[in-house]
Structure 1
Amino acid sequence: MADLGSVTWPPEPIRTKRLMLREPEARDRAALIELNASPEVGAYIGGARPRDELEAAIPAVPKGRPGQFVVDLDGAMIGAITLESRDGEHQAPRAAGKVELGYLFLPQVWGRGYAAESCAAVLDWFSGVLPGEPVVLTTQTANVRSVRLATRLGFVETARFEAYGAEQWFGVRSPGIQQGVGRSAL
């Protein structure tokens, strides 16, 4: 059973060809609020959260928790990636004891391949720190771009279920998967 609590956190920043994946910092607060308040970002995750609620909830220094990465492009936050341990609260029965990948990006950077590049790097990092552990991913079936990215990252659909008023796609990425990631449609 995967336990992100056993991983030394934060890790050294992960660098890709164009991006840096790092722990959240005070300079990321405004972008974190914008990300979670965006109607476009919230379209497939239950809607945008009210800005005043986010202002009150996100601390001045939004320190990360194990598994939380900021996606940094040239010194600015453009998205966030999370790896979260699941303890059985998830709607999909096979999620208990697994780590789930999540990702959100600001709409102005969609379609440039940043999601594919950064998710692949985080999955490679995860494989190095917890070898042999599978990763799961859930997205709405209506979010065609996210389903397409998941399959390109090596996730295989194992279930569909209803949650949050929509059909959900649930996939598992087994250890040792080599993803065929090039430029993303996101």
Structure 2
Amino acid sequence: MNQFSSSRLAMRQVEVQDWDFFHELHVNPIVIAKCFDPMPTDEIEARFERRCQPWTTQSRDWLTLVVFEIATGEPVGITGFCYKDGVAEIGYLFLPKFFGFGYGSESLMALLEWSSIELGIHEFEAVVTEGNVASESVLRKCGFQLAEVVPQNYSICGQLYDDHIYRLAKID
């Protein structure tokens, strides 16, 4: 897969040399607070190894893209999706020092455009844990609409949260 970009950001598939960055995103307590429980390193390593594999629309794992600032070359986050049954479930994680720059929305818009044009994907979904207000804002800015709330569906550190399911169907 080739790299693609937006006005300030470039994205490419995660590679072996991205381990330290990937690991940081998966252990930073601010990043994972509304996403998932802390994971042991071996579980993060297994996730990373799967995501470094060549990806196609027939892959059952996530296409994971590292998001870089074009101006500095510094990685700011990851974005991507898992494609199944004609729907791409999208997700993203960004380092806290890059919160508030609009990088989540900008990278998601670029991902939606690229996947629609290059891969013919037109249906997208995102599952957000209740209370992850910033993530819900990113989705709404990108045209997603809240489609369903699944009560008490997801546990983080022993506390149950509602899942907010957002959907977007792009029409060309």
CA drift of 1:120 comes to: 0.5
**Partner residue of 1:80?**
78
- In 1, Cα distance between equivalents of 2:37 and 2:87: 26
- In 1, Cα distance between equivalents of 2:41 and 2:14: 19
- In 2, Cα distance between equivalents of 1:100 and 1:85: 6
Contact in 1 for aligned 2:88/2:121 (Cα 8 Å): no
Q: Which of 55, 64, 69 is residue 68 of structure 1 equivalent to?
A: 64
Contact in 1 for aligned 2:87/2:121 (Cα 8 Å): no
**Partner residue of 2:101?**
112
**Partner residue of 2:90?**
101
TM-score (norm 2): 0.80
The C-alpha deviation readout for 1:15-43, integer Å capped at 9, x for no partner, is: 11111101112331100000011111111
Counterpart check, 1:156 vs 2:145? yes
Other structure's SS at 2:114 match? helix
- In 2, Cα distance between equivalents of 1:86 and 1:50: 27
Counterpart check, 1:128 vs 2:117? yes
The C-alpha deviation readout for 1:47-88, integer Å capped at 9, x for no partner, is: 2323464357644x944634321101232322111111246x
Other structure's SS at 1:149 match? helix
Task: State the identity %.
Answer: 28
Other structure's SS at 1:170 match? strand
CA drift of 1:168 comes to: 1.0
Letter in 2 for 1:47: D
The C-alpha deviation readout for 1:109-160, integer Å capped at 9, x for no partner, is: 1111111111100001111134462111110121111111111110111100
Contact in 2 for aligned 1:139/1:147 (Cα 8 Å): yes
Q: Which of 16, 20, 23 is residue 26 of structure 1 equivalent to?
A: 16
TM-score (norm 1): 0.75
Alignment RMSD:
2.3
The size of the alignment, in residue pairs, is 157
